[in-house]
Amino acid sequence: MKTKSSDHLGEDILGLLDLSPIEPAHKAELQAHLATCAPCRQALDEYRQALEAFDQTSTNHEPSEVFDANLRARLDALDQERNEPVSAMPSRPASRRRDGARKGSVFSPRRWFPEVNMRRSTGSMRSRGPLPALAAFGAVGIGAAALIAIWLHVPVEGGPPDRSNVPARSEIAESFGASNLLEVAEFFDVAEDLSLYEDFGVVENFDVIEDLDVIESLDEGSAG
Amino acid sequence: MNEDEDAEVMAQFVASRDRRLFDRLFQRYRRPMVSYAQRFVRNPARAEELAQDVFVRVFTTKKYTADTRFKTWLYTVATHVCLNEVRRIEHRLEFTPLDPASPSHHPMARIATTPEGQAEARQLGHEIQRTLDALPTKQRTALLLVRQEGLSHEDVAQVLSVSVPAVKSLVHRALEALRQDVRRYQEFGEPQPAPKPTKSEIDNTGASPHENQV
């Protein structure tokens, strides 16, 4: 038996109030407990009063005389709309076309999303509505974003990048209290790495790479 | 007509679009649907409109199989329609609470025989109504469906898209809240009314303070 706060019955009390199925044996067990537990008897009594009050808050409402007629009119209109031949659609009056556009074609999240949830929950989801338009809009947006990203990462031709904000080497060396960068690199034991970076200027020069004679002359020089 | 027949009739209607089949279901469920809607909006005219919306959705549905319990399916549709309505800000702004000073206004007042008894019943009825309005929607709906619509816990679980044990918990928590009202009323006689939400509070949150709780 569950124990909960002030009374001992917890959710099992729903079985005694006919709000939940309960095994007869378990019901007898609960009633035996009630016979010996005054707080639980009081709790059960309070629950009964609450249920009685709850029942009284709502009364069964008889539909008005116009209820059936109004619904039939709506259903007739739906039937009429459904039975209109497809070929007749372009010749509908302009006022109806505007009405149709206002009701069916213009995307309104407030109107559409509850509709989608309803259709999904009731198994009547259809592939109409602004979903294809949304998908197309999303695809175009993603494509545009990709193009912009590619464009931003392509180096601009026609001139070296602006390095006006980059401090001069001498300034960097002075900030470390050295006369040149090589001293700084040797201090941090990264002189070899610095030499690699120093050579990058040659590597970036595609004219030199394409000129194989230059490489051969370098090999000869190193061999000599 | 039993409930299995309802499912069969509905499946036949979806296949044939025969209005007579639809009318059979409509005649059987028109009153329960209007009453159910009124438990959410407490406005007879609006409740009828919501019930009409439910039947329009039933009428226009194209996918229904006879192995789906019709009553459960219908209450699922109705619950969605009604909850969409009560979540609308406009509904909360339009809603006018019952006047506590109005004699015999509340249904509970009708069951008491003496003037004092009527006043007490009316007062408790207002407290219960206020608590119901403040309950999370799933708790209130679970209690409504189990107690007043007579649905089983399995059906309610399907309607609310929760597990069967969760239904039991929802019903118990809703009932516990109502019980606390009874206790307060018995202890203090006339409890202080809870402050009504202002328009700015409603505009800011778009929901009652308990709306999003389960």
What are the structural domains of chain B?
1-96 (1.10.1740.10), 101-195 (1.10.10.10)
pLDDT tens per residue across span B67-81: 889 999 999 999 999
Predicted pLDDT of residue B92: 56
Cα(A65)–Cα(B83) distance, integer angstroms: 26
DSSP A44: H
- A41 and A47 in contact (C-beta within 8 Å)? no
Tally A–B CB contacts below 8 A. 145
Predicted pLDDT of residue B170: 96
B91 touches A: beta carbon within 8 Å: no
Contacts of B73 in chain A (CB under 8 A): 122
**Chain A interface, best mutation among B86, B172, B183, by max A CB count within 10 A:** B172
Going through chain B in order, the beta strands assigned E by DSSP cover none
Residue B214 banded pLDDT, cuts 50, 70, 90 = very low
Residue B69, min C-alpha distance to chain A (Å): 12
- B134 and B178 in contact (C-beta within 8 Å)? no
Cα(B4)–Cα(B9) distance, integer angstroms: 9
Report chain A residues touching chain B, CB-CB < 8 A.
10-11, 13-14, 17, 19-21, 43, 46-47, 49-51, 53-64, 67-68, 70-71, 74-75, 78-79, 114, 117-118, 121-126
Q: What is the mean pLDDT of residues B169-177?
A: 94
Task: Point out which residues pair with A4 in neighbouring strands.
Answer: A7
Predicted pLDDT of residue A113: 57
How long is chain A?
224
- What 3-state class would DSSP assign to A158? coil
Residue B200 banded pLDDT, cuts 50, 70, 90 = very low
**Chain A interface, best mutation among B58, B104, B176, by max A CB count within 10 A:** B176
Residue A43, both tokens: 């709790």
Cα(B156)–Cα(A190) distance, integer angstroms: 72
Predicted pLDDT of residue A112: 56
Cα(B126)–Cα(B118) distance, integer angstroms: 12
- B11 and B65 in contact (C-beta within 8 Å)? yes
Residue B32 banded pLDDT, cuts 50, 70, 90 = very high
Cα(A62)–Cα(A19) distance, integer angstroms: 26
Partner residue facing A53 (CB), from B81, B125, B144: B125
- B207 and B87 in contact (C-beta within 8 Å)? yes
Residue B93 banded pLDDT, cuts 50, 70, 90 = very low
Q: What is the mean pLDDT of residues B45-57?
A: 95
Whether A55 and B39 lie within 8 Å, measured CB to CB: no
Residue B157 banded pLDDT, cuts 50, 70, 90 = very high
B167 compared with B123, residue with greater pLDDT: B167
Predicted pLDDT of residue B155: 94
Residue A94, min C-alpha distance to chain B (Å): 26
Judged against a pLDDT cut of 60, whether residue B5 lies above it is answered with yes
B84 compared with B210, residue with greater pLDDT: B84
Most confidently predicted of A108-112, A218-222, B87-91, B171-175: B171-175
Contacts of B191 (CB under 8 A, 6+ apart): B127, B181, B184, B185
> CA-based angle B43:B49:B52, to the nearest 5?
140
Those of residues 140-199 in B touching chain A at CB distance below 8 A are 143-144, 146-148, 152-153, 161, 168-169, 171-172, 175, 178-179, 181-183, 186
Judged against a pLDDT cut of 90, whether residue B22 lies above it is answered with yes
Q: In chain A, where are the structural domains located?
A: 10-57, 177-223
Q: Taking all residues of chain B, what is their mean pLDDT, rounded to a whole number? A: 79
Q: What is the mean pLDDT of residues B143-167?
A: 94
Most confidently predicted of A56-70, A87-101, B154-168, B179-193: B154-168
Predicted pLDDT of residue B50: 95
Residue A223, both tokens: 């061999």
How does pLDDT run along chain A (224 residues), one tens digit per residue?
A: 444 445 678 888 899 898 988 899 999 999 999 899 998 998 999 999 899 888 888 777 789 989 999 999 999 998 888 776 654 444 444 444 444 444 445 555 555 555 555 555 555 544 455 567 788 888 899 999 988 888 887 665 556 666 677 777 777 778 777 777 777 777 777 766 666 555 555 444 444 455 556 556 665 655 54
DSSP A18-39: TSS---HHHHHHHHHHHHH-HH
A188 compared with B183, residue with greater pLDDT: B183
Cα(B49)–Cα(B46) distance, integer angstroms: 5
Exposure string for A117-149, b = 16+ CB within 10 A, e = fewer: ebbebbebbeeebbeeeeeeeeeeeeeeeeeee
Burial of B142 (0-12, 13-18, 19+ CB in 10 A): buried
Q: What is the mean pLDDT of residues B95-101?
A: 46
